[in-house]
Amino acid sequence: MPSVTLKKPEIAATTEEKQKIVKFFRGMKGEVIFSKKVNKAKANLKKAKLI
Amino acid sequence: MIPNTYPLERDGNALKFSFVSYDSNGENRVIKIIAYDIVKKHKVTYYNLGFGDLNTATMEIDDEAESDNGDMRKVLSTVTSTLPFFFERHPTKKIHLDGSTLLRKKYYHKLVRDYYRRITEHYVVEGCLGSVVEPFDVKKEYDFILISLK
C-alpha cells in the first residue's frame, strides 16, 4: 500500500482557520452533510409539497 | 499518487480531513473538508469520498462551490492523498466517487484517464453504469467510479 506523509506545509492553515476547522468538526454530529445532499432533500420535500 | 498536494490536517483518528486552498498569490483562502461516509447504491454499501468548501459563516459544507483558485488538480490530488488512510482502516471496502455537478463528474473521469496507469499500480478502478459494475474503461462515462485496494 502506498504511504502518505503529512508534510509540514509551506502555507499551512492559520491559527484562525485551524480554530474554525476544529469548531466545525466538534460541532458535527457524526456524518458530514454536504450541500448537494441537503438541496436534494429540500427538493424532494418541495416536490412532496411539505415545504 | 499525483505530486503537489496541499498539507492535510486530520480530525483525530477519524476519516475526516481538512486543508486550505489558495490562488497563485496565496490569497482567496478556502477551507476544504474531506469526509468518507457510507452510501448505498443499488443495495450495495460503499464509502463515498466527499469534499467541499467550509462556509465559515454557516459552518456548512458546500460541495458545489467554485472557488476559482485555478488549483483543481492540486485540490483533487490532495483529496486522493487521503486514500491510503481510508484503506488502512477498510482494506476490503470500495470507495464511491461521484461529481456533485456534471462538470466535476467529467473532470473526475478525465483525471482517472490521465493517471490511469499510476492509479492502477495500487488500486482497482471500476465504473458503474446503471446497476452494472465493470472494470473502468477509459472510453466510457460512468454514473460513478469505484476504487478499491489491489
Q: What is the DSSP string of B84-118?
A: HHHHHH-TT--EEE--SSHHHHHHHHHHHHHTHHH
Q: What's the one-letter identity of residue B17?
A: F
Chain A residues with beta carbon closer than 8 angstroms to that of B16: 25, 32
pLDDT digits (tens, 9 = 90+) for A7-20: 544 567 889 999 99
Put simply, the answer to whether A6 touches B8 (Cβ < 8 Å) is yes
Residue of A1, A6, A25 lying closest to B11 (CB–CB): A25
Q: Please give the residue of chain A at the shortest CA–CA distance from B80.
A: A4
Q: What's the confidence (pLDDT) of residue B78?
A: 93
Put simply, the answer to whether A11 touches B26 (Cβ < 8 Å) is yes
φ, ψ of residue B80 to 5 degrees: the values are -70, -15
φ, ψ of residue B31 to 5 degrees: the values are -80, 125
Question: What does pTM read for this prediction?
Answer: 0.83
Are B85 and B49 in contact by the 8 Å Cβ rule? The answer is no
User: Number of Cβ pairs closer than 8 Å across A and B?
Assistant: 84
Chain A residues with beta carbon closer than 8 angstroms to that of B64: 35-36, 39
**pLDDT 10s per residue in chain A (51 long)?**
666 665 544 567 889 999 999 988 888 766 777 777 777 777 777 777 766
CA distance A16 to B131: 45
Ramachandran sector of residue B56 (left: φ over 0; alpha: ψ -120 to 50; beta: rest): alpha
Chain B residues with beta carbon closer than 8 angstroms to that of A3: 84
Rg, C-alpha atoms of chain A: 18
Q: Please give the residue of chain A at the shortest CA–CA distance from B31.
A: A17
pLDDT digits (tens, 9 = 90+) for B4-63: 899 999 999 999 999 999 998 888 999 999 999 999 998 999 999 999 999 888 888 888
CA distance B130 to A14: 44
Residue in the block written with cell 491559527: A15
Percent of chain B with pLDDT over 90: 67
